Structure 1
Amino acid sequence: MQTRPFSPNLLLLIALSCASLTLSPPVSAQDAEGGAGDPALKGRLDKLLNDSKLSKVKVGVHVRDLDSGETLYGRNADTPLNPASNIKLVTAAAVLDKYGPGHTFTTELHATATSGDTITGDLVLKGGGDPFLLWSHLLEMAERARRKGFTRIKGDIVIDDTVFDDAFMPPAFDQKSEDSAYRASVSGAAAEFGALTINVTPRGAGEKPRITFDPPNDYATVQSTAVVVKEKDEARKEALQIKAAPDGDRTAIQISGKTWPRGGATVRKRMDNPSLYTGYLLRRALKLLGITVEGKIRRGPLPGGTRLLARHTSYTMNYNIAAMQKWSNNYMAEMLFKSLDMGDAPATWAGAQKAALAFLEKAGVKGELKLTNGSGLYDANALSAAQFTQVLYYLQRRPDILPDFESSFAIAGVDGTLKRRMKSGPANTVARGKTGTLSGVVTLTGYVQTLKGRRIGFSVLFNDTRGGAWGYRRLQDDLVEAITDWGNK
């Protein structure tokens, strides 16, 4: 990736990852707040933003003509705010800039030594940083090994995840200790989004519920005191609790409480060691295909002189960023973010931060910002509304990646996180956006294509919100519909 050189002081700040960064002289308030604009648009947006719901909310709004770059409207447009998952559009743009839309990641299966139907050495899975590696892909690779006639592995299953370093937890993820799948760890050989689905299925009253995993594996252990009771009301008094906690190198699924014969639960939980989790999934896949494994599961590098048994090629980059953006997948965002530093040495979070910041500078983003992770989870990042629309403006001048970037956004009223929003009105199907929601944060950045062919970018950032997010989302939708309606006239 071609970037301008950085000063040593700037590189130090990026490596620290917690300081505010200045890419170049800040854009002036006049640049972001002013512009020719249209009094009619200003009047409509001002009226919406003067809603009493926003009286104590930090608001940053910027509307930009994506053809000319002209500011059409701004309110606190230069103020860095927590963008939540809006940061994923920066991750998407940066990986498209580095790799292109057709890039793929490769995962390989190697044997260190073989004899007849036996792998006499180790079976090594060489990870390539694939953000969408699934249980079904591991099954396919195991099947290819079986087709080559192997039925026994005397050595270990070794997971080579050295394309990334050993820091599984993304930056800022340690701010909370939640066990939910949206806080999944990552590695160079992670699979199944670093998470496991746990199904608790009731049996008869007085019996213990049936507990199953999807995908099936022995990585997660079960610690359960849950019971099935006859009546729903009794079950409600001590409802099922399903938690995930570290258990040595593995993860324990802790289940307690009560359910009733028509109750049960299904949840997804993060796995603490994503590389070993992949190893256990691979061992189960081999077992299902009749291949016995005598050794243990461990992490380690791929040695030289091995025999390639199978290779899996990932989905293309444009597919990956669409899945990440439309459904706001934190795991995929952090896998792709860390891939920005992939090269001869293991990728690091500090290296990914430097690469992402270099892209923002290349895109013409100015002013102070904080960039820590690629998903937007927790208090990790701070960008302004004008900085986001600058990224949109820059991408308009990149015909090599623009179509794939734009198609990765959710479509208003159609799919992704905008499927239930703007289902009617002028913005329906013509607005595309990236949503963001955290406690106290509701954001929306995207663009509209008007009936006159005008392309307008917008970024609406709300911080310090109170209560539920839907009221703020409706207000954001009203802003986007007003922009669209104005542009159609």
Structure 2
Amino acid sequence: MWILIWGGISCANPEPSPSASQELPQTLRQALAQAGVPASEVSVVVWGINEPRPRLAWEAQTPRNPASVMKLVTTLAALENWGPAKTWRTEVRVPRLEAQRGQGPFGVIGVGDPGLTLERWQELWRQVYQQGVHQLSGPILFDQRGFAPLESSPETFDREGFRAYNVIPRALQVGQQTQWWFIRPGERAGEPLRIWPEFPFPRIMLRNRTHTVSGPCPALWRSGLHYAIRAKFPGQVPITHPDGRLDTGVILELTGTMPRDCGVQVMGFSLLTNPAYLDSSFRTLWHELGGTFTGTLKQGAVPSDWPVLASSESPALIELLLQMNKNSNNVVARTLLLDLAMDGDGSNAANAATEASGRAKVFQILARRGLDFPEMVLENGAGLSRKERISAEHLARLLLWMQQKSLYGNEFMTTLPLVNVDGTLRHSFEDPRLRARFHLKSGTLDGVKALAGYGLDAQDHWVVVVFLANGAGAEGTVAVQEALLRWVRTESKIPQSGTVSDTRVLSAPNPLR
């Protein structure tokens, strides 16, 4: 038996009370029937902030795969461990500052910087160039010891080893090891699509076999496009993910069609190994700066006592969490899990961080806050997993704790997409009454559909909303999700017999917004 104090309310044995509704509202049952999904395949919890028990709890304790909704667990752990202002600093180091004239070694230590973009990578080397170092001849060492090699390969999850969302994090990783391609339809049907890279990699070539078609743009604009990855110098064994055999030359072949009304779209591919990406991006950026390089780039240990010649600081953690949750960025989430293991500063390089040690740190952070989730299975913190599990009840308790106990509840909520406004929920539901009234993280996998976050009820009080569907018909439950949100917004109210503590009040949005 344990006691949990929430905003002035003492709840002993806080299991869902029998007085909480154990029946789904009729509108949800109708939506499930129309979708052909058994009610036993979904879990639903609606729980008012600072209310002692849920308003609705259906299959609440059943462990289910949450897909990307698992990023809520990673978000809590990161905010509680570091606070929203945490940053990572990537540095260029040299043995002796006073003698540095481009001769001798340079080094970069991987600190697990989740926000090391190509722009910041260029900024780092621009600082070197502006200090009068224009000709580099010494070797450049890239120190990757912070993260241990992960057991899984990029194609393990869904055999899409070249897609950006499957990139395996590294301690020193630039641009999430991804090349982004802009795609624009031609002006007339039959014309090839206009395709160009955000950043040119000399080792990556495009073979464009696409054409424009008439008609409206589908919700899944990529549905008519197909890709193939070919080695410039083909071998006998098929290549399924970035591999050293591609690093000397790789061809991205795009085929298929795209409607003229789609406008400019973006698609990302990871085609080079991490060392080749670092090498190619450095050489290109250094040449653009006007510098020359005659040395070698290689993986190697960089002494931590070498002086710092140049540095670049990441955006604050809160900005990275916005990117992670609004756009469901798997690489940021997986990197943060490893950062939690090494505490994000590279000091654990002698004992490289693993996903197992990151998982252990997350459970430790939860336990210290009284959040005991024995059924939870955490694999990589991103939800890109067939193994991960958590119950709707415990997701609800996590969301409640962040608003009732955490110092960072407002920041946590801000990272979640606003329904029909931004992120992955920009164009989600048809009912205009839902717009901007819910902050929710969504999740989708084959056989999984999930939604969890916060919303305003019929009385403009904040409630926690959790929806998990696992099963063959899960992907057809969008209408069921909309029916749930509509019920929350138009019918759900504070129970007459319930009490609500006002020790923490969340402001409702401007009704004119």
With normalisation by structure 2, the TM-score equals: 0.77
State whether residues 22 and 56 of structure 2, in contact with CA within 8 Å, keep that contact through their aligned partners in structure 1.
no
Residue 399 of structure 1 deviates from its aligned partner by 4.2
Aligned twin of 2:311: 311
Aligned twin of 1:339: 339
Aligned twin of 2:5: none
**1:411 corresponds to which of 412, 418, 440:** 418
Aligned twin of 1:462: 469
Residue 39 of structure 1 deviates from its aligned partner by 9.1
In the superposition, relative to structure 1, how do residues 324 and 486 fare at CA in structure 2: closer, same or farther (>3 Å)?
A: same
SS at match of 2:328: coil
In the superposition, relative to structure 1, how do residues 461 and 330 fare at CA in structure 2: closer, same or farther (>3 Å)?
A: same
Residue 396 of structure 2 corresponds to residue 389 of structure 1: yes
Which segment is superposed worse, 51-60 or 326-335? 51-60
Unmatched 5+ residue regions in structure 2? 1-11, 187-191, 215-223, 231-240, 495-513
Aligned twin of 1:54: 37
Question: Which residues of 2 match residues 97-136 of structure 1 at below 5 A?
Answer: 97-112=80-95, 118-136=101-119
Aligned twin of 1:15: none
Find the aligned partners of 1:48 and 1:31 in 2 and give their Cα distance: 28
**2:428 corresponds to which of 421, 445, 452:** 421
Residue 477 of structure 2 corresponds to residue 472 of structure 1: yes
Find the aligned partners of 2:132 and 2:159 in 1 and give their Cα distance: 45
State whether residues 413 and 424 of structure 1, in contact with CA within 8 Å, keep that contact through their aligned partners in structure 2.
no
Query: How many pairs does the alignment contain?
Result: 446
State whether residues 365 and 390 of structure 1, in contact with CA within 8 Å, keep that contact through their aligned partners in structure 2.
no
What do residues 29-68 of structure 1 show as CA deviations (whole Å, max 9, x unaligned)?
A: x934x44336998455455445452138721112222212
Residue 280 of structure 1 deviates from its aligned partner by 2.7
Aligned twin of 1:217: 201
**1:360 corresponds to which of 356, 366, 373:** 366
Residue 124 of structure 2 corresponds to residue 141 of structure 1: yes
State whether residues 458 and 492 of structure 2, in contact with CA within 8 Å, keep that contact through their aligned partners in structure 1.
yes
Aligned twin of 1:291: 291
In the superposition, relative to structure 1, how do residues 86 and 136 fare at CA in structure 2: closer, same or farther (>3 Å)?
A: same
In the superposition, relative to structure 1, how do residues 414 and 227 fare at CA in structure 2: closer, same or farther (>3 Å)?
A: closer
State whether residues 187 and 275 of structure 1, in contact with CA within 8 Å, keep that contact through their aligned partners in structure 2.
no
Aligned twin of 2:8: none
State whether residues 95 and 340 of structure 1, in contact with CA within 8 Å, keep that contact through their aligned partners in structure 2.
yes
Unmatched 5+ residue regions in structure 1? 1-26
Find the aligned partners of 1:123 and 1:104 in 2 and give their Cα distance: 23
Aligned twin of 2:171: 188
State whether residues 199 and 213 of structure 1, in contact with CA within 8 Å, keep that contact through their aligned partners in structure 2.
yes
In the superposition, relative to structure 1, how do residues 298 and 475 fare at CA in structure 2: closer, same or farther (>3 Å)?
A: same
Find the aligned partners of 1:230 and 1:59 in 2 and give their Cα distance: 42
SS at match of 1:411: coil
Aligned twin of 2:229: 243
In the superposition, relative to structure 1, how do residues 143 and 110 fare at CA in structure 2: closer, same or farther (>3 Å)?
A: same
In the superposition, relative to structure 1, how do residues 184 and 230 fare at CA in structure 2: closer, same or farther (>3 Å)?
A: closer
State whether residues 365 and 391 of structure 1, in contact with CA within 8 Å, keep that contact through their aligned partners in structure 2.
no
In the superposition, relative to structure 1, how do residues 350 and 67 fare at CA in structure 2: closer, same or farther (>3 Å)?
A: same
What do residues 265-300 of structure 1 show as CA deviations (whole Å, max 9, x unaligned)?
A: 964212453354234312321111122121222112
Residue 174 of structure 2 corresponds to residue 177 of structure 1: no
**1:253 corresponds to which of 247, 250, 254:** 250
Aligned twin of 2:492: 487
Find the aligned partners of 2:266 and 2:102 in 1 and give their Cα distance: 38
What do residues 423-447 of structure 1 show as CA deviations (whole Å, max 9, x unaligned)?
A: 5444321111000011111110111
**1:89 corresponds to which of 72, 75, 79:** 72
